[in-house]
Amino acid sequence: LAGIQDDSVASLSSLHAVEHFGLGRYGDPVEPDACFRAMRALARVLQPGGRLYFSVPIGIERVEFNAHRVFAPDTILRTMGALRLVSFAAIDDRDQFWPDARPAAFAHEQFACGLFEFTK
């Protein structure tokens, strides 16, 4: 996203990608902050009033060796702090879909799916 101007994109989606950034699994360099830089870049290029659709594994925060990260929901909200959460849905550890949920309710899951809609 380095070549994209600030506040220039009306609609973005990042669906189960960022959790893999910087872990070296796909030939990328090992960079512990790569996922956070990517999230901040998404927020940077989103235009005011635009929408970002973002999904990642959520629950007890950790890195699963040679696979992916699981983010605490609050980590996502803090990292995307320049944006406002419009809606949140999740699929919990029991495969139950929660269409209108609170992110904090999934902080103790093992491997839930968080579906965030943000705007600037």
* pLDDT score of 72: 98
Among the listed residues 18, 8, 10, the one whose alpha carbon sits nearest the alpha carbon of residue 80: 18
Confidence of residue 26 (pLDDT cuts 50, 70, 90): confident
The Cα 84–Cα 87 span in angstroms is 9
Strands 46-58 and 68-70: unpaired
pTM: 0.94
pLDDT tens column, 83-118: 999 999 999 999 999 999 999 999 999 999 999 999
Closest by CA position to 111, among listed 100, 98, 99, 95: 95
Q: Residue 27 pLDDT > 90, yes or no?
A: no
Q: Which two tokens stand for residue 73?
A: 């929901």
Q: Where residue 25 falls among pLDDT bands split at 50, 70, 90?
A: confident
